Amino acid sequence: MHVRRFRTDLAIVLTAICSAAAIPARAEPERVSARASVEVLAPLSVMVAQTLSFGRLQVQGGSGPAYVTIDPAGAVLRRCVGVACLPGSEAAMVAIIRGEPNRSYRITLPASAVATPGSFKVSGLTIISATRGNVAVNGYGRLNVNGVEEVRIGGTLLLNKTARLGVYTANIPIAVLYE
């Protein structure tokens, strides 16, 4: 009796397996969609049109500080303390940025630079943009409809009593990236 029941159970199991195998499995295709886009921007370029020049200077005697400030936006371009500002070629640095029209950019300056001759420190760097005014606070600017922006950079040259009569200039390295 156990054999007969085993055969019956076996037959039922085999019938179920064969029936399942005979029914084709239907898989629904999974729908996946994706989109990608690439925006190619004109490369940014920076051309220095004018180097930062503190002009012709001569340190005066005395024990006080000696410094010269070039203000890129002020009505008075050069201010001298403890230094004789002689007639010369003082000028804010002028850089022309070119890139994708109407795009925002971010400009960064070093904390300080070195002037020549004499390797004196230049600090307190400020940037004035033709379209946004002072960008030294946050570093942001915007290229105009032609993809061009002019920035003017000024700073303060700190001199000591060993400074000689001469024209003092500084090359200020700047970095500009799209925002």
Vertex 81: Cα angle to 75 and 86 (nearest 5): 75
116 lies in a domain? yes
28 lies in a domain? no
User: pLDDT value at position 65?
Assistant: 84
Look-up of token digits 């600017």: 141
* Sign of the dihedral through C-alpha 10, 11, 15, 16: negative
Q: What is the rounded distance in angstroms from the CA atom of residue 165 to the CA atom of residue 45?
A: 35
67 lies in a domain? yes
- Least Cα distance to 132 among 73, 45, 49 occurs for 73
31 lies in a domain? no
Q: How many domains does the chain have?
A: 1
35 lies in a domain? no
Blockwise average pLDDT, block size 10, the chain, 179 residues = 48 49 62 83 92 92 85 84 89 95 92 94 90 71 92 94 91 93
Q: What is the rounded distance in angstroms from the CA atom of residue 116 to the CA atom of residue 118?
A: 5
User: pLDDT value at position 6?
Assistant: 45
Q: What is the rounded distance in angstroms from the CA atom of residue 141 to the CA atom of residue 65?
A: 34
User: pLDDT value at position 24?
Assistant: 56
- Encoded amino acid at 30, one letter: E
Q: How far is CA 100 from the centre of its chain?
A: 15
- pTM for this model (two decimals): 0.74
141 lies in a domain? yes
36 lies in a domain? no
Range of the domain at 91: 45-178
20 lies in a domain? no
User: pLDDT value at position 19?
Assistant: 52
Tokens found for residue 42 = 């004109």
User: pLDDT value at position 23?
Assistant: 53
